[in-house]
Every structure is written in structure tokens, then in C-alpha cells.
Structure 1
């Protein structure tokens, strides 16, 4: 069993005011060669909500919900915005923490959702600081499944009908990245399909369901996982729909913009009744799950060949120049 004297919630981060938006986005895409015009386009999504992403407050809420059950001090740090993970780990060192469980707010395999968190842990570790142990993927954990099933049940009740199609959504990623996820490849999609299947079973539904993708951000010449949720809704033959953001653990910007704004507009234009299930958030079963993960045997780290980093434009150019 894990022998930890602290818990670190490690997350993506998000802006908390108009002046934060561009510096935050520049942190997100550093080293990727993303055109500034694209950043300005995405910045408009945030500015439409006052320059504030919901993710930081939702992480604060999760930390507060964890404090009574974790049994150890709970800390929080981010990859891309304050509080930065490296600052949090220095504080943990100063507080005398020796070994901490790391709960990354991403349930599934893949570079951005798993391997990059291992890289973050290596980057933010400091001399004399705590040993940081990343906990396992949890998309199939009963606590996650219960939270998502409960929130889906509530969305069905708001819709007021049992014949709604369940459409599970997750972040699209490049096809090449999806194929390299996990030791044998394809693990990102496989884990998401299993989670959706478990939620559907927990609801006792025999109806078919769909898994679709959202939040594509790459160049058009690079194939990403499809279909996009909006394209899917534009063609869906169903009396009503409930969107279930199975690939996310909090209602952050990509949920409230891509689903609550864009997808809802598509459904409204078609006259398709739609509700959106909440993410796991601070559902009691999800909070208990984090504690249970801490009590599990320490996970075996993935091999370094698992979920490799994508080749960025700058890296590709450098590699080609050396050929």
C-alpha cells in the first residue's frame, strides 16, 4: 500500500482574469509552433467568459472536498498557471513532506493525459523535496463510474424523457498519438469506450450509445480522432440527446464552450432536445475514489516508450535538417 504523508492534486491550470489569458495560452503551447492568430482565436473563447476558466475554482473545490477524507495534507499545483506545480512542491519540501501521492486530473492514457504528467513530476521535483508518486488511470474505477452515472441520470431527469441517446465525449487527439497510447497502442480510445460502457451498464440502459470527440486544435492536414461532437449532432437520428463528457473530470473551458455553447447551438438549430451531464467534479463517490487510489499498491510506472511525445513542428524541422 502507498505510504504517503501528503496528496498533491496536479492539474492543467487556467486563467483567472482577462490579463491572464494570453500568458496562459503561451504556456500551454510553448515549443509547439502554434501561430499567434490561433492563440488569439482561442483567447476569444476565454474572454467571452470574462477571461476566467472554471478549472481553477473547481480544483479548489476538489481540494477542499478531499481534506476531510485524505488523511494527509492536500496540496494543489498546475502545469500551465498559478499555482504552478514547482512552487507547490517547494512549499511541500518546506513543510517537511517526504512522500506524496499525485492525483493527476486526467483519467486516461495518452501523452497529454498521462505521459506529460510524468514529465511534469520530473520537472517540478526539487532537491530535498518529496518523492512524488503518480496514481493510476481511473476511468474504470467504480467511484468514477458512479459519479458519471449519477450525473447522467440527473441530466436524463432534467430532459424528462428516457429515450434520449447518450453521446459520450472526450478530447480529440491526433490519430498518431491515439495509436501510440499505451504499451500496445490504442489504449486511450479503449479506456474511454470501457468507461462509457460501464456508465451505460450502471444506468441499466440497453440502448446504443456513441463516443465522439471534441476540442480539436491541430492543423487541418493532421488527422485527429473523429467524429467531432458538432458534426455528430448535425446528423444524429434521435429524439433527444444527453452529452456525457466522460473524458473530463471538471467543467472547464473546453466543456462549457465546446459543449454548452457550440454543441448546444447545433442541437437548438436542429430542434434536438439536449442536456449535458456534469463531470465528476466533487461528487462524493469521486472524492472517495481518490482516497481509495491512495490505499492501492503503488502503481508500476509505464515504460518510457509508452505514449511518446508528439513531434512538434520545431523538433521536426531540426530533425530534418540533420538528415
Structure 2
């Protein structure tokens, strides 16, 4: 790689992990090709060939969708601003681990996680911070495995002693309360501006879907973590006095039509709505991208206009100050807990080539759900 080495001393490097997104028309096809050739996100027969074909077929459609929203992926710009604010807060609140540098590390486009590790390779500590609150092999797992494969090729044990990960933070009360605050803010705004009462508004929480077999056969617990997030947020909202109906749904199905995905789908949940208004919550996303700006704001709005009078969406966290505070707290807690990497154990019927080795590299224990099951069946059920 030709990444320029950092000339400034860095004590702590924080890399925010995300899929990323194409910055212009020419980047759409390479981005999609890498995504569909990644067996950790979607398993296909003849993966390289079929993945390349699907990317070729979908490229014109995705380019049109970006034209609809009037911009290419805003993810990098938003995350650059998030990173700057997190680093500034860390320097101020936790000077003992300063100076901090916070950057983005993307899975399918530049800047890649490996590029950022190499650019700041003199940092005393390197923290890979997953921006997926709920863990899935196809998102957090893919990003961690990608970083592990690059690190393993370096044959430099000095990295191993300095690098750690932050994973799976959906079950924190401050995460739940942040979503509840944002949902209530938009809910109250709809009531006051549209003259609605609580029961006129249906809140639909929409998460990126997975093939059902990933959860029922392989043992990926992403669906359970999304369900848990939904239930926690709803509990807080009801405790605040909201009297509404909430529903969980799944969006963004891709790949072969014969594949069965998690249900109910978001379009189906929209279609069955009997209330006057729908408020969408992008529960699995922290930063706006094509699935919020196009799929929810344009496509799903079109479906909703056939069944309700009003449609709105809660913003992703983006640059919400309380989200920056949450990320800052997560990093500080990670540092003060000794840089302990705690990655969700491998699926019960793990099919990944690098999942176990990745967890061993980062020192995350237990490595697998099966290992945990052998030690403590009750604990295995709860993780």
C-alpha cells in the first residue's frame, strides 16, 4: 500500500468500522463487486463469478438511486465529522491516552481499515470500533475478519499487542435512551404539526434483513439483538407515556429470489398499517446512507402514501451530540477496562474460514458458542 506514514505522534488510534459507500458514479460497480463477492455477507454458489454478475446487473439501478437522492454516499463525510468530534472529546476528557486520532475504516472502499492501521502504525494503541451496535457475521464479523486477514499477513506480532476491538453495544441503557429520545422528539413533532394523537401514529422499526438460514441454521443472533433493541426502546417510550403501536420489520433483501429472508418485510408491515401516520425508525443504522435516504425516504414513502396520510423518519444518529458522547464513553470504558476485546462468540454452526482465528488474534473469549455451550448451557443461551 502507498498510504503515507503519520509524521505526528499518536498515542491512541480509534478506527470506526463501517461498510462505507461509493463517492461517485465510477465507484459504484467496484463497491458492489466487493460486497457481493464477500462470503461473510452473502453466501452464493460460484461466489466470485456470480457476485461479479450481480454487481454488474445492479450497478445501473444503484447509480439511478443515488441520482434520486441527489448525492453519492454521504457516509464518509458524516463519519469524518463524527471522528473529529470524538477525537476532540477524547483528548479533553481522557488526556492520559492522548493524543487521539479517530478515523473511518471501510470494508468495501477507501479508506480501508488496513490503510488506516498502516498510516498510523506508530500509535501505541489501535482500537477497532464497530459502528454496528448489533453484531452479525455479515457486518461486524466481516469487518473484523477483513482486518484480521491483513494483520495476519504482516507477520508483525507488535500489532497484536497493540490492537483491540469494541463490538456489540446495543444492550447499553444509553444507546436505548438515545433512540428513545430521538423517536419521541419526532413523534411529538408529528403530533403538534399534524394535529395527531398518539394512537394515530404507528412506529415501524426497520432493520437490514438477513437470510433466515443465517439465524435459524447457522446461529447468527443478529435477529435476536435487533428484537432486543426494539423491545428496550419500546419499553422506554411507554414509560414516557407514549400510547402507540410499535412494529419491527426487515428491509433491503438482495440476492437470489429463492432465498428466504427474515420476516415480516418492511413493505408488508407498511401495507397492513391502519393508523393515519407512520414514523420509521432505522434501528440498525447509525449513519445515513442509501438505505435510509433512498429506500426508506423515497421507496417506502411511496408505499406508505397508499395507506396513510402522513409519513416521517427519525434521523440516524449522524452528528447528534449524545451519540458522539456515547461513542466517547465506549472508547474510554474500553481503555479503562484494559483494552479487553469482547466479540460475540462464533455461531453455533459457524461456516466462516477465519471467524475463530480472528477472535483468537484479538484475544476475545470464549471463541465459539459451542465452546460456551459445553461449559455452561444456560450461559450459551443468553449470549
TM over 0.5: yes
Q: Residues 86-114 of structure 1: CA distance to partner in whole angstroms, max 9, x if unpaired? A: 11111111xx1132221111111221122
Q: Residues 263-312 of structure 1: CA distance to partner in whole angstroms, max 9, x if unpaired? A: 1111112243111011122222222222222214323344444684579x
Does the residue aligned with 2:120 lie in a helix, a strand or coil? helix
The equivalent residue for 1:77 is 105
Q: Residues 8-27 of structure 1: CA distance to partner in whole angstroms, max 9, x if unpaired? A: 11211111112222222222
The residue correspondences of 1:84-95 to structure 2 (distance < 5 A) are 84-93=112-121
* Native 8 Å contact 1:264 1:274 kept in 2: yes
Residue 5, structure 1, aligned to residue 47, structure 2: no
Q: CA deviation at 1:29?
A: 1.7
Of the structure 1 ranges 71-80 and 23-32, higher mean CA displacement relative to structure 2 is found in 23-32
Unaligned residue ranges in structure 2 (runs of 5+): 1-10, 39-46, 92-99, 354-383
The equivalent residue for 1:105 is 131
Using the alignment, how far apart are the partners of 1:158 and 1:206 within structure 2? 15
What TM-score results when the alignment is normalised by the length of structure 2? Answer: 0.73
Q: 2:255 aligns with which of 218, 234, 240?
A: 218
- Inter-CA distance 302–246: structure 2 relative to 1 (3 Å threshold): closer
Does the residue aligned with 1:73 lie in a helix, a strand or coil? strand
The residue correspondences of 1:52-201 to structure 2 (distance < 5 A) are 52-71=72-91, 72-93=100-121, 96-125=122-151, 126=154, 127=156, 128-129=158-159, 131-160=162-191, 161=196, 162-163=198-199, 164-179=201-216, 185=219, 187-201=221-235
The equivalent residue for 1:40 is 60
What is the total number of aligned residue pairs between the two structures? 303
Q: 1:27 aligns with which of 22, 34, 38?
A: 34
- Inter-CA distance 82–62: structure 2 relative to 1 (3 Å threshold): same
Of the structure 1 ranges 203-212 and 191-200, higher mean CA displacement relative to structure 2 is found in 203-212
What TM-score results when the alignment is normalised by the length of structure 1? Answer: 0.85
Does the residue aligned with 1:27 lie in a helix, a strand or coil? helix
Using the alignment, how far apart are the partners of 1:227 and 1:260 within structure 2? 19
Using the alignment, how far apart are the partners of 2:173 and 2:150 within structure 1? 31
Unaligned residue ranges in structure 1 (runs of 5+): 312-323
Structure label with greater radius of gyration: 2
More helix by share: 2
Q: 1:250 aligns with which of 260, 283, 287?
A: 287
Of the structure 1 ranges 264-273 and 299-308, higher mean CA displacement relative to structure 2 is found in 299-308
| Alpha-carbon RMSD | 2.3
Of the structure 1 ranges 290-299 and 224-233, higher mean CA displacement relative to structure 2 is found in 290-299
Using the alignment, how far apart are the partners of 1:293 and 1:276 within structure 2? 27
Does the residue aligned with 1:88 lie in a helix, a strand or coil? helix
The equivalent residue for 2:22 is 15
The higher relative CO (CA closer than 8 Å, separation ≥ 6) is in 1
Residue 279, structure 1, aligned to residue 316, structure 2: yes
Q: 2:329 aligns with which of 292, 298, 304?
A: 292
